[in-house]
């Protein structure tokens, strides 16, 4: 099927190093399930330990790249601008993305290794620890190169995970302002509680430009706490985010909050709707890594075709359901969504 508009993604590309571990491993490295953090020095030995695990898997990851790869499976014509190192992990990343059919424009940095993300899986739940490395080296100047800015000009839809706020908020602002000035759709993800807490200022600066805001219930509640809203009610939080002032009146803001097995919350036009997800028996759950990214990818694959919100949600739920039955953010060669 052909896209109505090209989707451009920007973010931190990370090669996922994924393995099933035990509770002792989590305690050893002070990790919590269903959380995403940036690596500290105490975490660095963990990557080699995971790599030596006999069931280790390497998967081209990073939140934005995951979403774009999933969207690509359900549609076509997607671009992504990312930073990798010139090393074996970078080569693995390029190979993975090429196999996924995504049109990727990597900025190769010689000063740092390719970023990696430790994916520690226990009982189907995951803990993510990102070592950004080269992903932390994205240069604003790279975006402004004629060949890269031409991709921005060509795109009609933009998606950037909140994690990129830690690397190049200047690049995000440039793309956001371009989208607003040219009546294009700009979307971002809350991505993780620590983004809402420690990158609050740059997140607030980008928020007026967001036409779609994605997140999960934990991120939404953290956003509420940080902004002093004094409510844990996800529906109310989604509504308040959707009503945040906008930089452009061309598009209303729609907030989409996932809640695991509970219904997806959608806030728009001062109203909240809830959409049930596809429930999965516990025995079929493999791991939840990438479920949120997959939901966004499925949603965007329909949004670029100008499908109604109900269809976008249906595709998002379908994609997330497929992903959690597989290891990492991977998918079957021929999805059966229709």
Three-class SS state of 285? coil
* Sheet with 271-275, edge to edge strand ranges: 103-109, 78-85, 7-10, 157-160, 185-189, 212-216, 254-259, 262-268, 271-275
Please list, in sequence order, all residues whose beta carbon lies within 8 angstroms of the beta carbon of residue 280, skipping any fewer than 6 positions away.
Answer: 261, 321, 324, 325
Of 16, 109, 287, 293, catalytic: 293
Beta bridge pairs of residue 116: 15, 131
- 211 a catalytic residue: no
In angstroms, the CA 139 to CA 236 distance is: 37
In angstroms, the CA 135 to CA 156 distance is: 25
CB-CB neighbours of 194 under 10 Å? 17
Tokens linked to 17: 């190093």
Helix ranges, 80-233 (H): 88-99, 140-144, 146-154, 169-181, 193-198, 200-206, 217-226
Please list, in sequence order, all residues whose beta carbon lies within 8 angstroms of the beta carbon of residue 40, skipping any fewer than 6 positions away.
Answer: none
In angstroms, the CA 44 to CA 10 distance is: 26
In angstroms, the CA 112 to CA 135 distance is: 9
Nearest alpha carbon to residue 71 among 191, 187, 238: 187
Residues marked as catalytic: 293
């Amino acid at each position: 099927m052909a896209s109505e508009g090209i989707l451009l993604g920007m973010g931190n590309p990370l090669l996922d190093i994924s393995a099933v571990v035990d509770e002792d491993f989590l305690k050893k490295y002070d990790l919590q399930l269903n959380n995403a953090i940036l690596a500290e020095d105490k975490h660095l030995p963990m990557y080699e330990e995971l790599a030596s695990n006999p069931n280790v898997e390497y998967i081209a990851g990073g939140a934005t790249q995951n979403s774009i790869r999933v969207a690509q499976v359900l549609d076509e014509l997607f671009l992504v601008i990312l930073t990798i190192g010139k090393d074996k992990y970078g080569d693995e990343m390029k190979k993975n993305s090429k196999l996924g059919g995504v049109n990727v424009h990597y900025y190769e940095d010689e000063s740092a290794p390719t970023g990696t993300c430790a994916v520690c899986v226990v009982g189907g739940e995951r803990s993510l620890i990102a070592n950004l490395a080269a992903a932390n080296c994205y240069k604003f100047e790279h975006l402004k190169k004629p060949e890269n800015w031409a991709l921005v000009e060509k795109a009609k839809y933009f998606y950037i995970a909140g994690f990129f706020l830690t690397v190049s908020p200047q690049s995000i602002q440039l793309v956001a302002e371009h989208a607003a000035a040219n009546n294009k759709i700009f979307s971002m993800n809350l991505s993780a509680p620590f983004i809402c807490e420690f990158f609050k200022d740059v997140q607030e600066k980008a928020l007026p430009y967001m036409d779609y805001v994605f997140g999960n219930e934990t991120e939404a509640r953290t956003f509420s706490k940080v902004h002093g809203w004094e409510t844990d009610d996800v529906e109310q939080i989604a509504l308040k985010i959707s009503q945040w002032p906008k930089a452009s009146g061309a598009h209303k803001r729609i907030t989409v909050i996932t809640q695991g097995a509970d219904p997806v919350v959608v806030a728009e036009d001062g109203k909240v709707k809830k959409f049930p997800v596809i429930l999965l028996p516990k025995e079929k759950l493999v791991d939840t890594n990438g479920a949120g990214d997959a939901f966004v990818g499925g949603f965007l694959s329909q949004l670029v075709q100008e499908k109604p919100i109900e269809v976008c949600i249906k595709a998002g739920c379908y994609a997330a359901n497929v992903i959690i039955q597989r290891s990492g953010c991977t998918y079957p060669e021929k999805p059966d969504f229709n």
